[in-house]
Structures are given as C-alpha cells and as structure tokens.
Amino acid sequence: MAQRIDGKLISAQIREELKEECKAFVAANGYAPGLAVVIVGEDPASQVYVRNKKKGCEEIGYYSEVHELPASTTQEELNALVDRLNADERIHGILVQLPLPKHLDETEVLLRIRPEKDVDAFHPYNVGKIMIGDYDFLPCTPAGVMALLERSGVEISGKRCVVIGRSNIVGKPMAMLLLHANGTVTVCHSRTKELASVCREADILVVAIGRADFVGADMVKPGAVVIDVGMNRRADGKLTGDVDYNAVEPIASAITPVPGGVGPMTITMLLKNTLTAARKAAEK
C-alpha cells in the first residue's frame, strides 16, 4: 500500500512554522508582512480563493488587503491600483487573481507588478530567475509539490522524473525545480507519443493536465511516487484529480490524494513567499 502524502497536514505544519517566523519578523521590524490581493469581477471560484488567501494571512498574523473591483474596471484603473500597491510600504506582496475579465490584458498587469512584490512569481523577471536557479520566489503550486516531496522524505537526486503538462503556471516551472534538485526530467504534453511508456519510466510522476482520472495503473511503474496536481469537478460536483487514485494507489510507493494533496499547499506557499518578500524589503 502506498504512503498517502497528506498535503493538509504538511500545509498545517508549514503554516505553524510561518506563524512563529511572522512573530519574529514583527518583533524585529515593528510591522507585519503585508499582502494585497486584487480581484476583478465576480468569478465565484476566484472569490473563494481570495477569501482563503485573506483568511490564511489573518491566521498567520500578516497585514492583508483585498481590493474587489467591478467587472467593468478599465485597464487604466487596474494599472493605477497596481502602481499604488507597488509604492505602498505596508504591502510586500501583490497578487492579481487570474483570470481577469476578457477586456483586460493579463500580461500588461503582471509586467506592472514590481518583481520584488511578485509573490506569484509570474513576472518574466522572476520566471527567468527560476530558470537560472537563483530565485527569491517560486510559483506556488510547483513549490508546494517540492515541499510535499521534501517533507515526505522523497529523494529526487538522480531519479527519473516525468511531468505531464507544460503550462507556465505548473508544468514548466515544476520541471525546472525537479531539474534543480538533480532529477532527470522529461516533460510530456498533448503531442507526446507513447505517453504511457514514457510515464512508466518515472520514479517520480507529476501530473498536471486537467483531465479527471486520466492516469491509470498502466502509466505507473510499481514503486513510483505519484503527485496529482489536477483539480477537476465531476458532474456530481465532487473534486477529483488527474490520477485514478484507486487504480494507482496499490502499485505506487507514495501518492497524493485529491482533495487533500497538492491543493492545500498552494496558498501556504503564497504565504511563505510573502514573508520572503517582506524580509527582502526589510534588508534594504
């Protein structure tokens, strides 16, 4: 039976550590790390994420602001808010919740956030730093996967790692982080031929596709570590991953469930990045 990698538990442990680190930061500097979250429009899923981010900040002891803008917000208005937050000394991290309404240019907004406040690590400057391996922030979901592997005692160095998915948010940075940890990394995508046989070579298989139960036992080497980033809604409203958990669990050595695996780590890593940003600002 596979070890169940418990993202809820590991996330709670990291948040406890962050609470202590936040206390020490406040004692040393006289103010708390600050995060500003900007949401435009009324997308219900985004509203839930934003609420959870604010709640996470409050629990740890950060200062936080949520800026809720109407769907009719213009590019100029959004840019002006980002400029204001860039200049605000109480704010160390800025997160603009994506997706934005269609009439707004996401790239323009992401480029406008000062890289040292870009706690999502989506600014090309930070993306480039991750490529080089000299980074302050890591994108939250791949960073969460790395923390799960580390805290579950999974050795990466020298291992065959396969990532399915090549998005800028998950797949590509995930591959880069596994490479920095000395894994031998293969990235697969929708045009990959003989996907199952490539996946069967993996000691560590990270799946970020967005298709419910896509990875079955035929794609997994016995004893592999399987990390499921997928978050898909079934017709009955239940959340499910990209991996068929019941089929894969008996042959894997360790596996993340959905829900309760990678999901809880993402906001935790955002909170960690916010503290890093505040520390960097305090050093100046």
Question: CB 251 → ligand NAP: shortest distance, Å?
Answer: 20
Of 202, 208, 243, 270, the residue at the interface with ligand NAP (CB under 6 A) is: 208
- Residues making up the chain, counted from first to last: 284
Residues in CB range of 207: below 8 A, 6 or more apart:
164, 165, 214, 215, 226, 227, 228, 229, 230, 241, 242, 243
- Residue 29 CA: distances (Å) to CA of 23, 24, 282: 10, 9, 8
12-20: list long-range contacts, CB under 8 Å, 24+ apart: 13/151, 14/147, 14/265, 14/268, 14/272, 15/56, 15/59, 15/60, 15/268, 15/271, 18/60, 18/268, 18/271, 18/272, 18/275, 19/59, 19/60, 19/61
The residue from 11, 64, 73, 266 that contacts ligand NAP (CB under 6 A) is 266
Q: Which is nearer to ligand NAP, 115 or 210 (CB)?
A: 210
Q: Whole-number minimum distance, CB 108 to ligand NAP, in Å?
A: 20
Stretch binding ligand NAP (CB under 6 A), from 9-17, 120-128, 202-210, 243-251: 202-210
Of 263, 272, 275, 276, the residue at the interface with ligand NAP (CB under 6 A) is 263
Nearer to ligand NAP, 116 or 244 (CB): 244
Instruction: Write out the catalytic residue numbers.
Output: 53, 97, 120
Enumerate residues 174-193 that contact ligand NAP by CB under 6 A.
188-192
State which residue, 38 or 170, has the beta carbon closest to ligand NAP: 170
131 to 160, contacts with ligand NAP by CB under 6 A? 141
Please identify, using beta-carbon distances, which residue of 141 and 276 lies nearer to ligand NAP. Answer: 141
- Give the one residue of 40, 81, 109, 169 binding ligand NAP; rule: CB under 6 A: 169
Phi, psi at 25, each rounded to 5°? -65, -45
Select from 169, 154, 239 the least CA-distant residue to 205.
Answer: 154
Write the DSSP string, 156-199: -TT-EEEEE---TTTHHHHHHHHHHTT-EEEEE-TT-TTHHHHH
Is 165 a binding residue for ligand NAP by CB under 6 A? The answer is yes
Closest to ligand NAP by CB, 89 vs 194, is 194
| Residue count, binding to ligand NAP (CB under 6 A) | 25
Residue 219 binds ligand NAP (CB under 6 A):
no
Chain positions contacting ligand NAP, by CB under 6 A: 141, 164-167, 169-171, 188-192, 195, 208-211, 229-232, 262-263, 266
